[in-house]
């Protein structure tokens, strides 16, 4: 199946071909800051499954250590919606922000990550936690 999505203003649209590898909730501090929400919810897929229409702005996220870029965070430069993160530690894997999908009716998270950064009120019982080093 083909999924579609867009940013808030509509300058960026995209299509995803096929199924997700996972739907992952990320509680990390950087996802909280970028989204302005308590966590990000991500449709994790192969880069080859995603086709983006429009020119996205790029933030090279160097993480807490400030060393090498570990995530390319791509967003709409007009309205600011985060669209996709390229996970440089897992080459060819992208995390598409579920909140930008046109239809989220069949989306349920499988895993959650960076649970140490989770906001205290968030309780996602029943979703497996990924261990972080």
- Residues near Zn ion (CB under 5 A) are 7, 9, 11, 26, 28, 31, 76, 78-79
Q: Give the nearer residue to Zn ion in terms of CB position, either 6 or 49.
A: 6
Q: Shortest approach of Zn ion to residue 78 CB, angstroms?
A: 4
Cβ-based nearer residue to Zn ion, 1 or 64 = 64
CB of 57 to Zn ion, least distance (A): 10
Nearer to Zn ion, 11 or 104 (CB): 11
**Location of structure tokens 């989306």:** 107
In DSSP terms, which residues pair with 87 in a beta bridge? Answer: 71, 93
Contact predicate 17/4, CB 8 Å: no
């Amino acid at each position: 199946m083909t999924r579609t999505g867009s940013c808030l203003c509509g300058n960026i649209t995209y299509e995803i071909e096929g199924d997700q590898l996972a739907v992952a909730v990320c509680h990390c501090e950087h996802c909280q800051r970028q989204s302005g929400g308590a966590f990000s919810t991500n449709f994790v897929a192969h880069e080859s499954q995603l086709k983006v229409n429009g020119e996205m702005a790029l933030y090279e996220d160097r993480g807490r250590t400030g060393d090498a870029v570990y995530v390319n965070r791509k967003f709409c430069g007009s309205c600011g919606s985060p669209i996709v993160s390229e996970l440089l530690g897992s080459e060819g894997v992208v995390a598409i922000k579920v909140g930008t999908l046109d239809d989220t009716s069949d989306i349920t998270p499988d895993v959650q990550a960076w649970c140490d950064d989770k906001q205290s009120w968030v309780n996602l019982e029943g979703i497996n936690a990924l261990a972080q080093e």
